[in-house]
Amino acid sequence: MLIGRLFASFISIFVKNQIQIYFSSMALFKLDWAFPTQESSFAGGEKFLEYLEAGGPADETEGFKILWRVTNPLNGTGSFVAEATDISKMWEHAAPWIKGFGCMCEVEAVFSDEQFVTTAKKIYAS
């Protein structure tokens, strides 16, 4: 029994450390979106409400996790920051909104404060 519990503890710690390594290798991306018309914004807003009420099922998938999101329904725009393994995950997440409502998206890689400090120290030291 004791060996079984020790093994289970080891596996738990190992898995937790592997998950931390996995997430630390992900990059941050910011996506800004805009619906092209008020009509598409209204239709997209109805679908977005359904999506959020369903728990945002695509907000966290393998290699992708939305960290925060803001929306402005008055002008049909919004933004989110996500951790992702690469930019293709951003496209996969946005594709249904682009296809269904003509949503226009701009994506850029960004730094967290911690990432900026770490990188800036290397750059400014040279």
Q: Residue 87 maps to which CATH number?
A: 3.30.70.100
Place of tokens 């190992």: 14
Give residue 10's pLDDT band: very low, low, confident or very high (50, 70, 90).
Answer: very low
**Residue 37 pLDDT greater than 80, yes or no:** yes
Are 100 and 47 in contact, with CB atoms under 8 Å apart?
yes
- What is the C-alpha to C-alpha distance for residues 85 and 21, in angstroms, rounded to an integer? 12
Give residue 24's pLDDT band: very low, low, confident or very high (50, 70, 90).
Answer: low
Overall number of domains in the chain = 1
User: CB neighbours of 25 closer than 8 A, spacing ≥ 6?
Assistant: 85
pLDDT on residue 87: 97
Q: Is 108 within the bounds of a domain? A: yes
**Residue 14 pLDDT greater than 80, yes or no:** no
Q: Is 6 within the bounds of a domain? A: no
Q: Is 92 within the bounds of a domain? A: yes
Global pTM?
Answer: 0.77
Are 29 and 115 in contact, with CB atoms under 8 Å apart?
no
Q: Is 18 within the bounds of a domain? A: no
**Residue 28 pLDDT greater than 50, yes or no:** yes
Average pLDDT, stretch 2-31?
A: 59
Place of tokens 């900026």: 116
Phi and psi at residue 36, to the nearest 5°: -75, -25
Q: Is 83 within the bounds of a domain? A: yes
Host domain of residue 73 = 26-112
- b/e per residue 20-32 (b: at least 16 CB within 10 A): eeeeeebeebebe
What is the three-class DSSP state of 76? coil
Which regions of 20-92 does DSSP assign to beta strands (E)?
27-34, 60-61, 64-72, 77-84
